[in-house]
Amino acid sequence: MVETINREYLKEHLTEKKKHDTGNVIDVIPFLTKRTKAIRDFNKVLGEYVRKICKLKLDEQALKNREFYLSEEENELSELIASNVEYDEEDDMYDFVRFLDQYLFNQDDINPVHPFLFNYIKIDKKNNNEFNKYAQFMSEIFVQNNSEIQSIFKSKSADDILTELILSKMEALKETNKEKVVRQYQPLLNPLIKLYQEDLIYLSKFKDYFLTSFPVLTHYYVFMYVCQLIFKFEQFTEADFEKVQPLYFALEWESLSKRRKAADPLEGFKYIKENASNLFPHIHTMSHLSHSFVNNNQEGKYSFIPYSMLYNEISKQGKEFEDNFLHDLKEWIREYSDWAKVNVEDQSVDIPEAFKTLFKCLKEGMSTGVCIKYGKNIEDLGANQFLKGRGSLGQTFNIKHDFLLLLTAVSVKDKRIPLNELFREFEKRGIAFDRYSKKEIISLFDNLNILDKKSDSGDAQYVKPIL
């Protein structure tokens, strides 16, 4: 019989670990099985994210070894910069440090007045593990060694003398180990990833706007990426990872009723929230299935293959392989059920049904509390920005005024486009609006004078570039 699933390894691994484990499969998201809520302060991740993009790390020793020490009230980075500048009077040094503290810092948080300064945002040591996981995930999934994005954050070119001086004296970064790093996260949604890269590179042409828009744009794409995975995983073998599923958002300033699309149980956040607890068992189910002999095992790691992609690969192998795979999968369902002591009836007669049966087994064999906590990370990731509590309607996807304009800027770019095309660009990025929200948006654009109206029809209205 042809070998299809590495059941022997899976059984040994579960027996040895004595708990659920994804085995030798690359991970797909950085969620923890405990809920810390730390990611609600998303901007705290950006420093480590940018350093991973640039393959740099903060040199703590350089900060400690500065040439003079003023007081604990002054920032060590300000003192490091000031110690590398020549002065006519000694008091000038102290004045310059205090100026830098006000110019470069908001209390302990650095104010990135230049893209390079994102490299100097320190990671919160209390949440070091969680933020490191997010930073690694974001750099591997959304940047993937894109040299244009690297150059945005590595360049020290400045438009003014003060920034040029500051950047020339900042010497507290060093290159990370250049040895090949094994990939930790598997990219799954290429259309969304490409759009993020395209939008970020476009925004980088507008330095001042980029400094304020980079954090929220990145936050949105990370949040939407995970929402898309939750939606796609629920579709099992019917999922298409080459298409982004538009989900309905509401504008922050408009009122909602239960009949609105953003409050819909199938097309808004309610669907994501209700199925978020399935994310943990889905990931483990697909990790089990990815220990397959149709999968590539590189450097001791298997690729993570979603249900639809795996079924497609199995089908390519021919009828005999497909029959053998179904046989092995049903055997693994039985063996897992014995190990987890679960009683889920297996009536599957084909591979798509067997995938769903294995998922049910894993869900039954897992701690419900762990699955819920893992899934609720999506609420923490979207909190304060892309989710809004709407009383009895619960949480809905939310668009703030500034983000709507940012989304419009990256969708329109340099040339005016028809209004209907703008809404299609929003949908490519995962955002759909119902007719009531669209009416609000048209009214806003009219007031901001960014709408060219040839007539009242959508095709005859054009949205002008914002930047």
pLDDT in tens, the chain (467 residues): 677 999 999 999 888 888 888 889 999 999 999 999 999 999 999 999 999 999 999 887 766 654 444 445 567 778 777 777 878 887 788 888 888 888 888 766 788 999 999 999 988 888 999 999 999 999 999 999 899 999 999 999 998 888 888 888 777 788 887 666 678 999 999 999 999 999 999 999 999 999 999 999 999 999 999 999 999 999 999 999 999 999 999 999 999 999 999 999 999 999 999 999 999 999 999 999 999 988 877 767 899 999 999 999 999 999 999 999 999 999 999 999 999 999 999 999 999 999 999 999 999 999 999 999 999 999 999 999 999 999 999 999 999 999 999 999 999 999 999 999 999 999 999 999 999 999 999 999 999 999 997 766 666 899 999 99
In this prediction, residue 69 carries a pLDDT of 43
Q: Whole-angstrom distance between the N-terminal and C-terminal Cα of the chain?
A: 63
Q: How far apart are CA 229 and CA 311, in angstroms?
A: 17
Full-prediction pTM beyond 0.85? yes
In this prediction, residue 72 carries a pLDDT of 52
DSSP classification of residue 457: S
* DSSP H stretches of helix in 235-383: 269-275, 279-290, 307-316, 319-340, 351-365, 368-375, 377-382
In this prediction, residue 150 carries a pLDDT of 97
Q: How far apart are CA 344 and CA 160, in angstroms?
A: 68
Q: How far apart are CA 19 and CA 200, in angstroms?
A: 41
In this prediction, residue 68 carries a pLDDT of 44
Contact 301, 341 (CB under 8 A): no
Beta-carbon contacts of residue 87 (< 8 Å; ≥ 6 apart): 93, 96
In this prediction, residue 458 carries a pLDDT of 60
Locus of tokens 């189910």 = 285
DSSP calls for 165-228? HHHHH---EEEPP-SPPPP-B----HHHHHHHHHHHHHHTTSHHHHHHHHHHHHHHHHHHHHHH
Contact 460, 448 (CB under 8 A): no
Distances (CA, A) of 306 to 224, 277, 309, 408: 18, 18, 5, 32
Which two three-digit tokens encode residue 338? 């014995």
In this prediction, residue 46 carries a pLDDT of 97
In this prediction, residue 89 carries a pLDDT of 80
Distances (CA, A) of 180 to 120, 299, 459: 24, 11, 51
CA 433 to chain centre: 22
In this prediction, residue 15 carries a pLDDT of 87
Which two three-digit tokens encode residue 434? 């119902």
Q: Which long-range contacts (CB under 8 A, 24 or more apart) does 460-463 make?
A: 460/418, 461/418, 461/419, 462/416, 462/417, 462/418, 462/419, 463/408, 463/412, 463/416, 463/417, 463/418, 463/419, 463/422
- From 5, 169, 192, select the one nearest 87 (Cα to Cα): 169
Distances (CA, A) of 444 to 253, 400, 401: 11, 13, 9
Locus of tokens 């991973």 = 52
Q: How far apart are CA 233 and CA 246, in angstroms?
A: 15
